[in-house]
Amino acid sequence: MSTIELDKDSFTDAVQADKPVIIDFWAPWCGPCQSFAPVFEQAATQHEDVTFAKINTEEQPELANALNIRSIPTLMAFREQVLLFSQAGALSESQLEELVTQIKAVDMEQVHADIARQEADSDDESDLS
């Protein structure tokens, strides 16, 4: 599978989908982005069970701002609507492969339980003030 382009309308659908999604925030003028593109494309062909998406920050500035993208390239990985990874800078082929492996291995039941616990604790704290 090749990469898909996301915009503000398709972003939510991609993050809410069943498959994990790894997003590359890039711009046409960005040298490191251009160097990373073939690595990202290659990974997309090797992992049919992960969606690889790109967001052109020049064409989607509102989306980039909403997600606090301050430098490019930036990678974000979501699974079951949870942001699991966010990092500026291009990854090597082996680093990207390791990221994909780790994203697939995350125990999402545990992640959702941790989020619920944190939200409950936050609610308890706000009740005390």
Q: Please state whether 115 falls in left (phi above 0), alpha (psi between -120 and 50) or beta.
A: alpha
The active-site residue, picked from 21, 33, 43, 44, is 33
Predicted confidence (pLDDT) per residue in 104-120, tens digit: 999 999 998 999 999 88
Its CATH class, for the domain covering 4-128, is alpha beta
33 among known catalytic residues: yes
| Cα of 129 vs its chain's centroid, Å | 35
pLDDT over threshold 80, residue 1? no
pLDDT tens figures, 33-72: 999 999 999 999 999 999 999 999 999 999 999 999 999 9
Q: How far apart are the first and last CA of the chain?
A: 51
Q: What is the pLDDT of residue 128?
A: 61
Considering the candidates 30, 43, 72, 91, report the single residue annotated as catalytic.
30
Query: pLDDT per residue over 3-38, tens digit each?
Result: 999 998 899 999 998 899 999 999 999 999 999 999
Q: Are 79 and 17 in contact (CB under 8 A)?
A: no
**C-alpha to C-alpha distance for 13 and 19, rounded to whole angstroms:** 11
**Which stretch of DSSP H or E encloses residue 56?**
strand 51-56
Q: Tell me which residue of 33, 9, 13 sits closest to 21, measured CA to CA.
A: 13
The ranges assigned to domains in the chain are 4-128
